[in-house]
Structure 1
Amino acid sequence: MLPQDLQCQERPTVLHVSRPVDGGVARVVTDLVRAQVAAGLRAVVAAPPGGVLHRDAAAAGAEVVAWPARRAPGPALAGERGRLARLVRRLGPDLVHTHGAKAGLAARLAVRGRIPTVHQPHTWSFESADGTASWPALGCERFTARWADRVLCVSEAERLRGAEAGVPARWAVIRNGVDLDRCAPAYREDAVRRALRRDLPALGDLPPDAPLVVCVGRLCPRKGQLSLLRAWPAVRAVVPDARLVLVGDGPDRELLHAAAPPGVRFAGTARDAVPWYRAADLVVLPSHREGMALAPLEAMACGRPVVVTDVGGARESLPPGAAPHCLVPAADPAALARAVSGLLTRPQLRGALGRRALEHMRAAYDVRHTAAAVLGLYRELLGAACPESRERVSR
């Protein structure tokens, strides 16, 4: 049912502009447009070709248009902004919702506040791992914040980081959620786990009882897999038969392959990570920066304990009392090794943490609640500026 305040025209149009086309952001956009189409909105997704977003958003009921854009700002930005402005004129959206720093920059420059705009950074670009792009990225966020009716953060930690950095935003915080039907413990879990360990790529010869750690994420500096590889020899010193599988692909693929110690396997990109969570004893995400990562939420919804680094909304996402076992400092391989080996050697604690995580996800992280909260934000913005009376972008 479409919220009452959105019924000022038959079918309001929401334009989602996203530069990430894979991973957690693609999943978030897809979940949002599915809920919005079901609620009666016209959802349009503009994103670069490639990745999974075009396909998944179309399957969720969105109209999809190509918006070629590079990952980083540069000389191409003017053309990207111009193409987006033309798309906005043609599509006539009632609200623009941007995802990621590059999409947020280009769209806000194109629209300049003439259409209600929600910017969702997902993670702050100025917190780059090497720091080389931090100041220009922060300058862009500060400058373009004037043209966002709301900056939507996925965790309170992300909002606080933006405010502390001087981003002059009108803030909203809506946590990520997961599809609790798709992400759930398997029926007859032990039998399913044995079957998955036999059938999944990279696990065909894994002993059925070998402790298995899985890391799901894009292979890139931000996700911190190199820290996990540096921690792995210390884990194997305590648990010699443990295995680690990295699920994903990305620019660090060759670097990580070269740095991998014994007991590490690479599975490549997975269309659906749920079978990997179900096969695992423990899921680890050693990120250097996040807003609120989706992979640990999905793993916990499958009843798996996680080890995560204390960045972004990770602390907020854990069940009460889990942090001493599951939360470690970023870029600290020794602490990561202690946490991972500590859980691998304590199966009863792993089981208790997994059950607690599942209850926590069911109580607070249902994607339907996330989507309803986003619709409420749209209602707030569109209620003050009915589509029929608002000025369109004319240049």
Structure 2
Amino acid sequence: MPSGPRMAACFIDPGEIDVIAPNFKRRLSGVTSTIIQLVPAQARLGARIAVVGPGLPAGLPRLRLRDLWRLWQRPRGGGVRIWHARRNTEMLPGVIMRDLLRMPLKLVFTSAAQRHHKGFTRFLIGRMDRVIATGSGSARYLKVPHTVIMHGIDTAKFRPAADKPAARRAVDLPGAVSDRTRLIGCFGRVRHQKGTDLFVEAMIALLPAHPDWMAVIAGRVTSEHAGFAAGLREKIAGAGLGDRIVLLGEVPDILPWYRAIDLYVAPSRNEGFGLTPLEAMACGVPAVATTAGAYADMIVPGVNGEICATDDGAGLTAAIARVLERGQAIAELGAGALETVRSRFAIEVEAEAVNAVYAGLLRQH
């Protein structure tokens, strides 16, 4: 990561807090990214909220783990606090604190999973006071009353490039890149679940007929998936496209890459919600995605991108081809993508809706 001044931890008196957003996972994940983006927006809209746990930036309002014992005391002004969990490892402590330790808490859970929940997860969800689903896909697997609130994007951070050729020159792209070069991006962990192989196969099929385009893949390759990544490199080399399909590995800042690309592809076989198409769309970039996660809730074919079935290599290739065949008219899809995010998926829209769930619970007590 780039070096810079370290921010001081912003510890909050528990008496001033109505809502706690726990994060009990050290490694950065989609859930962690959601908390990092959402909590400041919720605070700006009036929520008295703080995070607790590892793996979060120091600048967020936070509680120390040792302050959790003070949750027996009600916040100033009386009432209860809300414990907003997003994983089993956060629901369980909430249940223990409320039901066994008799702390004055109400429990909220956000579910992004698009699968049948196991018995223990169903038990924990059944103990929640309110449940939020992040999209129509995750809502289908909930057996309890719930509210659908889709994730949002910080549109002040994710915004279009003022000068696309300059944005391309600003990134460290291997090989010769001219102002005519156009980029297709696929960002995220490189593994089978994310469909990186489907993207590579689509690029091998399409790029020979589109000489001004090249593809960039950015994302971590863990030791467990090193063989998978090596196989992709062999396929690319075998197709003679080593200079046009580039695996960058993990980059320190993905934002410049979103601004540099002209088309984003999310080929996932399985996803929780999936923020990357929204991040691209907020930068004025159309997206092609599978129906994994909440992608089908974001993308309107022919308006801001294209959709295809999951685990369908031919369908993905055809969807990308439909966009490439638009030529310069791809810019119209980019404008549609930007409008979609700003009207429906701005982080403030999500923050306001989640805060309304909190307000409903707090009014009851």
Q: Give the TM-score normalised by the residue count of structure 1.
A: 0.74
1:374 CA displacement? 0.8
Contact 2:154 2:346 in 1 (8 A): yes
Would the alpha carbon gap of residues 334 and 19 (structure 1) be closer, same or farther in structure 2, given more than 3 Å must change?
A: farther
Taking the TM superposition and a 5 Å limit, the aligned residue runs for 1:139-158 are 139-158=119-138
Contact 2:42 2:355 in 1 (8 A): yes
Contact 1:292 1:317 in 2 (8 A): no
Would the alpha carbon gap of residues 211 and 265 (structure 1) be closer, same or farther in structure 2, given more than 3 Å must change?
A: same
Distance in 2, matches of 1:254 and 1:47, equals 33
Taking the TM superposition and a 5 Å limit, the aligned residue runs for 1:330-369 are 330-369=310-349
Find the counterpart in structure 1 of residue 229 from structure 2.
256
Distance in 1, matches of 2:119 and 2:298, equals 29
100-109 or 297-306: bigger deviation: 100-109
- Within the candidate set 274, 283, 286, 1:302 is matched to 283
1:102 CA displacement? 4.2
Find the counterpart in structure 1 of residue 49 from structure 2.
43
1:26 CA displacement? 2.5
Contact 1:95 1:117 in 2 (8 A): yes
Structure 1, residues 173-224: CA drift from partner, whole Å, max 9, x if none? 111111122222222x2xxx22332231334633432331111223344322
Q: Give the TM-score normalised by the residue count of structure 2.
A: 0.80
Find the counterpart in structure 1 of residue 111 from structure 2.
121
Contact 2:112 2:135 in 1 (8 A): no
Contact 1:37 1:62 in 2 (8 A): no
User: Once the two structures are aligned, what percentage of the paired residues are identical?
Assistant: 29
Find the counterpart in structure 2 of residue 16 from structure 1.
21
Distance in 2, matches of 1:195 and 1:253, equals 33
Find the counterpart in structure 2 of residue 98 from structure 1.
85
Find the counterpart in structure 1 of residue 184 from structure 2.
213
Would the alpha carbon gap of residues 87 and 271 (structure 1) be closer, same or farther in structure 2, given more than 3 Å must change?
A: farther
1:111 CA displacement? 4.4
**Letter aligned with residue 38 of structure 2:** L
3-state DSSP of counterpart to 1:259: helix
Structure 1 stretches lacking a partner, 5+ long: 1-8, 67-85, 128-133, 386-395
3-state DSSP of counterpart to 1:183: coil
1:141 CA displacement? 2.2
Distance in 2, matches of 1:19 and 1:367, equals 23
Distance in 1, matches of 2:149 and 2:270, equals 18
Find the counterpart in structure 2 of residue 25 from structure 1.
31
Distance in 2, matches of 1:343 and 1:112, equals 53
Would the alpha carbon gap of residues 13 and 333 (structure 1) be closer, same or farther in structure 2, given more than 3 Å must change?
A: same
Taking the TM superposition and a 5 Å limit, the aligned residue runs for 1:352-391 are 352-385=332-365
Structure 2 stretches lacking a partner, 5+ long: 1-13, 73-79
- Within the candidate set 153, 166, 170, 1:195 is matched to 166
Contact 1:105 1:140 in 2 (8 A): no
1:320 CA displacement? 6.8
Structure 1, residues 25-55: CA drift from partner, whole Å, max 9, x if none? 2332122221233345443323444xxxx12
Distance in 2, matches of 1:294 and 1:107, equals 27
Would the alpha carbon gap of residues 239 and 321 (structure 1) be closer, same or farther in structure 2, given more than 3 Å must change?
A: closer
Contact 1:238 1:341 in 2 (8 A): no
Would the alpha carbon gap of residues 138 and 238 (structure 1) be closer, same or farther in structure 2, given more than 3 Å must change?
A: farther
**Letter aligned with residue 22 of structure 1:** L
3-state DSSP of counterpart to 2:16: coil
Find the counterpart in structure 1 of residue 8 from structure 2.
none
Would the alpha carbon gap of residues 230 and 112 (structure 1) be closer, same or farther in structure 2, given more than 3 Å must change?
A: farther
3-state DSSP of counterpart to 1:116: strand
1:329 to 2:309 alignment:
yes
* Structure with greater proportional helix content: 1
Distance in 2, matches of 1:378 and 1:250, equals 38
283-292 or 199-208: bigger deviation: 199-208
Find the counterpart in structure 2 of residue 69 from structure 1.
none
**Letter aligned with residue 384 of structure 1:** Q
3-state DSSP of counterpart to 1:214: strand
Find the counterpart in structure 2 of residue 313 from structure 1.
294
Contact 1:150 1:169 in 2 (8 A): no
Distance in 2, matches of 1:282 and 1:379, equals 39
**Letter aligned with residue 285 of structure 1:** A
3-state DSSP of counterpart to 1:360: helix
